Amino acid sequence: MPSKRSTVLYCRSMAIGNRKMEDSEADRAAVLAVIRAETEAWLQRDFEKLASHWVQSPQTRRMEAWTSLGVRVDEGWDAIAARIRKIVERFPEKHAFAERVRWERVNIVVDGNVAWVTFDQIGSDTGEDRKRQLRILHRVDGAWKIGCMVMMESSVEEANCPLIEVDAEARILWTNRLARERMRSHPGLAAAAGRLRARQRQRDAALRETVRLAFGELQSQRPLNVVPKQAWAVALGEDEAGAPLYCWVLLEDGKVLISFDDAKMVERRIASARDVFGLSPAQTRLARLIVDGRDLAAASDLLGVSVNTLRTQLQRIFDKTGARSQVALIRTLLSAEAPTK
């Protein structure tokens, strides 16, 4: 039978252990709250609030690794702040965390005054992209602050749209399941002798040239500046109903990929075009209808405004984008890409 003293010591040990566990849980919750608050501040374009969650010292680092476009490292808070300010000022539109971002595979380790967190972030300013992240935090005067952020592009296998990998001669190297299913009857693209082709012969040269352009960019390994990945829209003509067809040539994971039938890409590009060219809400709605193949008469019926009003809006869209035809406008709108965090 244990002695009274040993029982007391055991109880004290258990109490200390429980307090440590509670403190550890509290630290993990506090660390995660800081990362969420910093992400929310980014989406709300609140630079001052975002900055309050960082260690503002020369030792602070922000690193991005993109297989297709290389690595960018901002060393010291001054460099990080300058870059973030530039993006916030250029693209001021605000978003809600719940509407744009979710986290998966969150892992938090706390050891004294240092914590590190790994997680996958799905969604951002512009779409359903996936980024693998590492955050290292320090406890400064009792508050957790971000001292290092590492962000890496995810693999293309996780994409939820049709993707085809090609070589410099447009030979098909790999396709995902969605591409295999939809290529059988796609009105704009076809596979012939192992190569990806535009079904309309007159569009094939533009597709091949864009693939070569993408390989040139890939081989140049230019440093990441503002946009973390590149994509070029390729017009493929029209379907039987007269709606415009297009695909995108993408650089991701060190590969050249063809994406098509991607509704989220269209939404993302229209949103980016709105930010890049300063389109008004009315102009943005009209731009989307034009991309969907609507003429001004059909757009007038859908929007409940006169054709003359839409003609004026279209001219202003031309002025802002520099396009001089609806075909050129669609290409411009679908090629727009705003920077992401």
Q: What is the pLDDT of residues 258-306, one digit of tens each?
A: 988 777 777 878 888 899 999 999 999 999 888 887 889 989 999 999 9
Domain 157-335 class, CATH top level:
mainly alpha
**pLDDT averaged per 10 residues, the chain (length 341):** 60 54 82 95 93 96 73 91 88 82 91 94 63 93 96 66 90 88 90 94 94 84 48 84 83 82 77 90 91 86 92 94 86 70 47
Q: Where are the beta strands (DSSP E) in 129-254?
A: 130-140, 143-153, 163-166, 172-175, 189-192, 195-198, 231-238, 244-252
- The number of CA neighbours under 13 Å toward the Cβ of 255 is 20
pLDDT of residue 27: 94
Other Cβ atoms within 10 Å of 12 Cβ, number: 10
Query: Domains of the chain: which residue ranges?
Result: 4-154, 157-335
Provide Rg for the chain, Cα atoms: 25
Query: H/E/C letters for each residue in 79-131?
Result: HHHHHHHHHHHHCCCCCCHHHHCEEEEEEEEEECCEEEEEEEEECCCCCCCEE
Closest to 273 (Cα-Cα) out of 290, 250, 258: 290
Residue 173 DSSP one-character state: E
Note whether 4-154 and 157-335 share their fold.
no
Which residue's entry shows tokens 């995108």? 248
- Please report how the helices 281-291 and 263-277 are oriented relative to each other, as an axis angle in degrees rounded to 10: 140
Say what the pLDDT of residue 229 is. 56
Which residue, 263, 50, 265, 258, is CA-closest to 174? 258
Give the whole-angstrom CA distance, residue 38 versus residue 119: 15
Question: Whole-angstrom Cα distance, residue 329 to residue 317?
Answer: 8
Tell me which amino acid residue 164 is: I
Are residues 92 and 99 in contact, defined by beta-carbon separation less than 8 angstroms?
Answer: no
Domain 4-154: give its CATH code: 3.10.450.50
- The reported pTM is 0.48
How far apart CA 51 and CA 42 sit, in angstroms, is 10
- Nearest one of 67, 237, 261 to 152, comparing CA atoms: 67
Are 34 and 144 a contacting pair, CB within 8 Å? yes
CB neighbour burial string for 249-261, b if at least 16 within 10 angstroms, e if fewer: bbbbbebbbbbbb
